[in-house]
Structure 1
Amino acid sequence: MKKPGLSLKNVLVSRPIVLSICAVLMASALSACGSKDPAKDASAQPQATTAATGTAQSKPAEEKKTVAVTQVTNWFAEPEHGGQYAALMKGYYKDAGFDMTIMPGGPQVSAAQIVASGKAQFGMIQGDDLIIARQQGIPLVAIAAAFQKNPQGLIYHKGQPIKDFADLNGRKVYVASAAGYWEFIKKKYKLDTVQDMKYTGQLVNFISDPTAVTQGYITAEPYALKQQGYDTEMLLNADSGYNPYANVMFTTEKMIKEHPDQVKAFVEASIKGWDYYKDHSDEVNPKIKESNPDMTLDAMKYGAEKQKELVYGGDAATNGVGTMTKERWSTLIKQLTEIGVLKNEEDVSKVFTTEFLPKK
């Protein structure tokens, strides 16, 4: 499977961005990590032994003992994980006491299940998917949100008379089955003549029909389409009023109860990484590419620039990267309940916590 934004020669496979896919993954058996390579902090490995004596080489007295920790992201390595890779590259995780491994996600990887099973201590997920996981009995807790504004949206060919979501009526829209945001948008904008088309991960149908619309990420698909000569514009789902936090860092209730110091250290190191990535993405992107060689540095540069306002704007501009509010989470829970994705409203006090975020 290729990362969205890599190629349009035959099939462009996008990351799953829908609630139904999350449910399928959670119901399946645990999967190994994606086809890309995990990233480790090479400076935080166990001490080596000498070839001659077989005895352990001594470490500097001031070096702290590190704890082996794994985090699993929500897709193959990309700029949307820039802060995590910056923290690894700059040694922030090591300074926090971790021998950190970043396990890339992918289309057959459920970060929720991997973390819930204890195979990883931390993960990354969409805000709505985390709520659904809790409704399914998986006790996940959001501890920071990398994206204040969700990068998901609906892409259309430039020049089409589309200014708002209401203008989608009568058009073919390629969206994965039972997408929560799409159910919300259809209901809010009364899209009674829109044609729901099954999204398969391919863009060929969208390309061949100038009037069609397709799901995608502002950080990826528009770049790939432009590289192939197709100019597009986009409606961000967040502008419809459906704006779940994206790339939410999470752990389990058990981890918070038993190792709150590690949770705090992880959040602080990750946020420090995101603060660094803001102005040093060109330095960090080659590190990301080591785990995802298929993605070009130009594509990463595009993604890093497009996501700046989504990560560092909004509430983050005042309260810092990672910040979350009860109001945002409560609104999302209510929306998911109203469109029938949730049978019962989740207790928002158990869904997220800001206690581990750096104080401003």
Structure 2
Amino acid sequence: MNKRTSLIRMSVAIFGMLALQASSLARAEDKVTLLSNWYAQAEHGGFYQAVAKGIYKKYGMDVSIKMGGPQVNNMQILVAGQADFSMGYDFTVMKGVEQGLPLVTVGTSFQSDLQGMMTHDDVGSLGGLKNKTILVAGSGQSSWWPWLKSKFAYTDAQTKAYTFNLQPFFADPNIAQQAYPSSELFQADKAGVKSKFFLFANDGYPPYGTTIITLQKTVAQKPELVQRFVQATAEGWKSYLEDPAPGNALIKQDNKNMSDEQLAYALNKLKELKVVTGGDAAKYGIGTMTDERWKKTYDTMVATGLLKADTDYRKAYTTRFVKDMHVMP
């Protein structure tokens, strides 16, 4: 009986996607602008792959990717109507909702945030930093640091500002610092400095990573467009993990400083950490999100003083566009 039910559900999902594709082909392509959250890199691979392989076009969209960066305020640009979708972060959207911004997350790339801690060889766990100096950037002070400090009873006195220069870490064996596996770890490896990396998510840090954000009015007025974009992006990620060459070619066009070596290194880390295909994605498909995870993120933000408890966090996301996609790894 369970097998029969599963087959029926699978058939309904397949027919739904075929109908979605057919309706997409019957109309003129919708022009869509996506704003990235940093310079083009492997962490954006699924989006670039969906452009390069014509997956967005298959779903009736002409998608252009506008590259973000350190001086780009993505949420401001999105609210101003200068982009249709943005890559984003759960904390940012929840804080935006608290402030009355009409933002909503409609899907995700990664089942966990890629933020973590890079340490020297003598550290055995994320909880082993009590006598260490910890380098934290300004953005970390309003996101992961309050969580880490609370979880392991660390203190602000341990911290110094992280300026995205790795020389202090290289020079001082007592320093630990925030890191992304595809960036700081790559630089340390290139410099011949041995290091360890601890992904915050493995110790319970709940946010998703590189999410898909749009406006609440877009969801209300153009739900089919949102569905097509989320579906095509999930398929883009699956394709990128299988053969990244098309997407990487476009990434290098946008970011001239991105090398084949770093792209390959980053992709290996994405696969190793299973951020695209692991967790709930292994069961429900790439891009999936759950109410339970969003509640954990809300609870974390409230507990660490980053969000007012009366914020209606349910406005920050919807699972309606990911729950029936089933783009299985």
Asked if Structure 1 and Structure 2 have the same fold, meaning a TM-score greater than 0.5 normalized by the shorter chain, the answer is yes
TM range (shorter): 0.7 to 0.9
Partner letter of residue 239 of structure 1? Answer: N
What do the CA deviations read for 1:98-126 (whole angstroms, capped 9, x no partner)?
Answer: 22110111001121111111100000111
* Equivalent in 254, 258, 263 of residue 300 of structure 1: 263
* Equivalent in 101, 107, 129 of residue 92 of structure 2: 129
Question: Please, what is the CA RMSD of the aligned residues?
Answer: 1.6
Q: Give unpaired runs (5+ residues) of structure 1.
A: 1-61
Matched, 1:167 2:132: no
Query: Structure 1 length as normaliser, TM-score?
Result: 0.79
> Offset of 1:93 from its aligned partner?
1.3
What do the CA deviations read for 1:321-356 (whole angstroms, capped 9, x no partner)?
Answer: 110011110111111011111123432432211211
Moved over 4 A (4+): none
1:318 partner SS:
helix
Contact 2:52–2:246 (CA under 8 A) maintained in structure 1: no
Please name the residue that 1:323 is paired with.
288
Query: What pairs up with 1:1-360 in 2 under 5 angstroms?
Result: 64-157=27-120, 159-160=121-122, 162-177=123-138, 178-192=141-155, 195-308=158-271, 309-357=274-322, 358-360=324-326
Partner letter of residue 319 of structure 2? Answer: T
Partner letter of residue 315 of structure 2? Answer: K
Task: Write the distance in 2 (CA, Å) between the matches of 1:80 and 1:315.
Answer: 19
> Offset of 1:143 from its aligned partner?
0.6
* Structure 2 CA distance for partners of 1:345 and 1:279, relative to 1, 3 Å: farther
Contact 1:337–1:345 (CA under 8 A) maintained in structure 2: no
Partner letter of residue 258 of structure 1? Answer: Q
Task: Write the distance in 1 (CA, Å) between the matches of 2:55 and 2:250.
Answer: 15
Contact 2:206–2:296 (CA under 8 A) maintained in structure 1: no
* Structure 2 CA distance for partners of 1:300 and 1:345, relative to 1, 3 Å: farther
> Offset of 1:192 from its aligned partner?
4.2
Q: Give unpaired runs (5+ residues) of structure 2.
A: 1-24
> Offset of 1:64 from its aligned partner?
4.5
Q: Higher helix share goes to which structure?
A: 2
> Offset of 1:288 from its aligned partner?
1.2
Please name the residue that 1:51 is paired with.
none
Task: Write the distance in 2 (CA, Å) between the matches of 1:329 and 1:106.
Answer: 26
Contact 1:169–1:193 (CA under 8 A) maintained in structure 2: no
What do the CA deviations read for 1:190-228 (whole angstroms, capped 9, x no partner)?
Answer: 124861111122212111111201111012211111111
Identity %: 34
Query: Structure 2 length as normaliser, TM-score?
Result: 0.86
What do the CA deviations read for 1:77-136 (whole angstroms, capped 9, x no partner)?
Answer: 111111101110111112222221101110011211111111000001111111112112
2:321 partner SS:
coil
Contact 2:39–2:68 (CA under 8 A) maintained in structure 1: yes
* Structure 2 CA distance for partners of 1:266 and 1:136, relative to 1, 3 Å: same
Please name the residue that 2:6 is paired with.
none
Contact 1:333–1:345 (CA under 8 A) maintained in structure 2: no
> Offset of 1:284 from its aligned partner?
2.4
